[in-house]
Structure 1
Amino acid sequence: MKYQTINGHNFYNMVVNASNRLLEESEYVNSLNVFPVPDGDTGTNMSATFKAAVKEIEGLNTESIAEASKKLAKGALMGARGNSGVILSQILRGISKGLEGKTEVNAVELAIAFKEGSNSAYKAVMRPTEGTILSVIRAASEAAIETDVKDIVDLMDVVVNAAKVMLDKTPELLPALKKAKVVDSGGMGLYIILKGMYDALKDDIKAEIKDIKPSEAKMQGAQGTEDIDIKFGYCTEFIILADASHADKFRDDIIPMGDSQVVVGYEDVIKVHIHTNDPGAVLAKAVKLGELSKIKIDNMREEHREVLLSKEEYNLKNENKEEVIEAEEKKYAFVAVAMGEGITNIFKDLGVDYVIEGGQTMNPSTQDIMECISKLNAEHIFVLPNNKNIIMSANQAAEISDKDVRVIPTTTIPQGITCVTMFNPESEVDENEESLKETMSMVKTGSVTYAVRDTEMDGIEIKEGNMLGLIEGKIKKVGSSYCDVAEEVLSEMIDDESELITIFYGADVSEEEANEFAAKVEEKYEDLDVQCYRGAQPLYYFLMSVE
C-alpha cells in the first residue's frame, strides 16, 4: 500500500495493531530485564499502558488524526504503569501535540509529530539515560525528520529501521546490557510498537483490540466465600464528555446516591464510578453536563452470587471492599503502595488512608493512584510509592490532580513505613514534606529474593535459583539459604550508629523460621532493638531495614 497522507482511521489501525503485537511479545520484553531478580515487568507495564491507551479510542470512528491521537494520549496518561509506561505515555502525548488540529497528515507532518514525542519523553525524565527507550525514540524521530521520502509507508520503514539500529546499539551504551547480552527492554517494547504501526499501514490491516487473558493480567483469586451485604447493587461506570472543571460539583451531587464514588476530571473528560441502586438517576444528572460514553452497569449482587460458586472474580471482591469516603475534610491523608497482606495491614494500622496493591511485577497505573487521591477529602495528600518504578506514575498523578498532592519518593517498603511513623500531624505541610524526605534517606534497606537467570553482576557469579541479598537495590550477597543470606546482608548494613533492625518476612517464610531468624539476630546484635513482622510479601523472603 501507498499513502501520501493518513487520517484518524489509518492511525486507529496502526496503534491497535501495535498494541496487539506488544501484548503478544510482552513476556519476551520482560525476559530482557538485565537484573536477575523476579521483577522484570517492562513488557507488562508498557503493554498495560498501551492497552489503556487504545481502549480509550475503541470504537472511535473519526477522520481526524488529531482527535484519535489526543484520546490515545489521554488513555496512556491515565493508564501509565511503571517508568517505561510513563515514558511511553509522554511519547504519545508529544505525538498528539504534533498532530494537533489536523484531520490528516503527510510524511513531513508525521515526522514532526514523532520528534515532538521524543522531546516530550526527554523532558519527562530528570536525568535521561542513553541506551534506553529514550535513545530509540530519539533515533527514530531524527531519522524521520532527516529523510525526504513522501510516502508514509516508506517513512514508517525508515522509522522502524532507525529504531532497530539504535536498539542494537543499546548494549554499547549501557555496560549492564552488554554484560547480560541483551538489548534494552523498554527500547524493544517501543520497537515492537513502531513495527506494529508500520505493518498495519503496509499490509492494510484492519485491527481489532485483543483482550488480555486472565492468566496474563496478574490477578489474584477471590479469597473466601463468605456472604456479604451489598448495600448498593449496581456498579456504574461511564465517561462524561464535558469540561473537567465540573468534576468536583458532580462528585458532590452524586454522593447521596451511593458509595465508592470516583470522579476524575481531565481536560474535556470526566470519568465516573459509583455503586448505586439507581443508575438511571445518576446518568440523568450526568447527561446534563455533556454527552455520555462507555457506559457500563454491572449487577453486583448477581455477580457476587457467581463468585460464591467460582473464586475467579478478583475485581468484584476488591470493589465490594472499598471504604466509604470520609465526609468530613481533614488536614492530611496518605496513599501508599504495598504488596503483602501483612505490610498492607501495617500501613493501615499506622493511619494510611488507602493502600494500593502493587510493587515488584505489578506497578499501579497513574489512574489507580488518581482514583485513591480522588476519594480523599483532605487538604494535603502524601503519596508513598515505595518502589522506584512507581515514582513517575505517582508524580504524573500529582501533576494531573487538582488537589495538593505531595509525592515522597520512597523506593522501599521500610522507607514508607518509617515515613508514616515519623509523620507529625501538627507540623505544616512544607515542613512535613521536607522532614519525610530527610527521614527516608536515613533508612537502610536490605532484601532477599531469588535469581531467575544465570548472569554475572559486579564480579558476582549468579546461577538461576540462587538466593540474592540486596542492599538499596544492589546485589551484594549470593547463597543457597535465604536466612544465611539475610544474615550476611544485615552484617553489611549495621554500623556503630545503628539502633533498630526491622524484619518483614514474606509469604514463603513460615512464622517459625522467621522467629528463629529474629532470635538469632537479637543474640548477635544484643545492643540493638529487633522487630519482626509478618509482611506476607511475594517474591521477597525478607525485607529488612536498619535505622
Structure 2
Amino acid sequence: MSVRTLDAQREAIDKINVFPVADGDTGSNLLETMRAALEALLRAPVDQRSEAGAALGVLAKGALAGARGNSGVIVSQMLRGLAESLRAVDQAGAHDVAKAMVRAAELAAEAVAEPRAGTMLTVLTASAAGARRIRSGVLHEVAAAAARAASEALSLTPQQLDVLADAGVVDAGGRGVLLLLESLVTVVNERDEPVVPYSTSQPSPLAAREAGSTEFGYEVMYLLDSTTDDATAVLRDKLSNLGDCVSVVGDGDGLWTVHVHCNDIGAAIEAGVEAGRPYRIMVARFADAEGAPSRFGRARVVVIPARGSGIAALFRTEGALVLEIGADDEPDVWDLLNLITSTGASQVTVLPGDDGLMGIADEAAARAVAGGQDVVVIPCVSPVQALAALAVHDSARRAGDDVVSMAEAAAATRRGELVVASEDAITWIGPCRAGDLLGFADGEVMRIEHGPVEEATVLRGACAVVDRMLTAGGELVTALLGADAPDSLSDELEKHLRREFPAVEFVAYRGGQRDTVLMFGVE
C-alpha cells in the first residue's frame, strides 16, 4: 500500500521541491527507498514476514540498504524505530503502536546532524505526539490520530519556512510521511483505498535538496560495513567538516548508510574507506541555485505549558502561545516540542509556570535547539511567576535583554499558595490533618487552618499568608483563584489589603486550577 501510494504521488511531490533548490527528487527518493524495503520483505523467509516486529525489522534493513537522499535515510530510521519497539511484543496493541511511533520519531531525529523545523521530522514528531495523546486502546483510532496530527503539522510547515510560504506549498518530505500514515490507516481498517483523506488540499508538498546549504554542490551516499561504532563516530565528525546534511546511521546489525552534501567528493569517500568498507557509492550533482532564504517566518515568541483552561486562557490573552495540559494529564515532551517547532520562530522563550513542568520544558528545549532554534527556558515554578515574566516581555528589545528582564521578573516574584491537605502529615510548624487548609510562602508551610475548609477559613488563611509575604515589602499582589475558591474571596481580600497595605496594588484572576484554592504572587 505504501509503495503504491508513493508511486501515485511521486511526480506531484517531485514537482514542488522548492527548498533550498528545485532538485525534484523527494518523491522519487521516498518511492525508491520503500521499494527497496518491500523487495527485502518479499525475499525474507515466511517466519520473518508473519510477525509485525520481525517484518518491520526486515523492512528497515531493506530501506537502509536502498535509502535515497535525506528523506530515504529518515524513513529507514522511522521503520527501525517501529521494529525495535514492536519486536518484543507478541501481539501489538494500540498502546504499543503509539510507543513505537515515539521511538520512530526519536531515531529519525537522531539520523540528521542538523534537524530543521518545517520538514518531515516536524511532521513525524507531531504524528507521534498525536498517537500518544489519543490514549485509545483501539488501533485504528491511534493510527487515525497520528495521521490527523501529521496533517495539521504539515499544513503549518509554510509558517516555519518562508520559501514554502512564498511558493504556496508544504514540505515534500512531510507529505511523504503523511502518505505513509494514510497507508497505515488504510491497512489497519482492512481497506483497499484510503479511509479518510487526511491530506491537505495543497498540491503535494515541498523540500528539494531536502535541506542544507547551496554552498555544497554534490550529494554523496554509500553503504558501509566492516566498521565499528567508534569508527562511524569519527566518520560523522569528518563529514561534518566537509559539508552539511550529514547522517551516518546503522541498522543495529552492522550495516550503515552514509549521506553528506559536500564539494570534495573524494574526501567524503576516503573518509568512508578509513572507517570501513564503503560500497554502492552514489554521487549526484545539485543544480546551480539561488541562496536559501531563512527557515523562520517570525522572530520571537513566548511559549507556556499550562495546567487548566482558566490559566491557559489568561496566558493567551497576554499574547503567549500555550500548550494546555489537563489537570489529570501527564505532561508530554513531544507535545511541547511540537508547539515550539511549529511556531516558526527563530527565538523561543519557554515559561513552564509549574515545578512539575520544568523537566519537559528543558528536554523539549534541548531537542529544539538541536534542530537549530534558539530556545531558552526561564525557571518558573508557579503561574504567577510566569505572569510576571510575561508582563515585562518586549519583543522590540534585543532578545538577550528581553530574556534577562523576564528572568529577573520571575525570580523577583515571591509566591504563596493555599492548599487543602490530602492526608495527615507533620509540617515544620506542627501537625496537620487531611482536610486542613495549608498556607505556603515560597514553598514553605507557614499557616495551618484546621478544617473543614469554609469561606471564612479560606479568607483567614489568605490574609495570613499575604500579610506574612508583604512584611518583606511589595508593590503588587496577584491572585489566581482556584476552582474551589469562594466567589467573594477576591473582593474580601482586596478590602483587607486596602485597609492593611493601602499602597499595594491588587489584581485577581479566575485561574480555575483544581490543585490549589488560591495562588499568590508578590512583586
TM-score, structure 1 as length reference: 0.46
TM-score, structure 2 as length reference: 0.48
Whose Rg is larger? 2
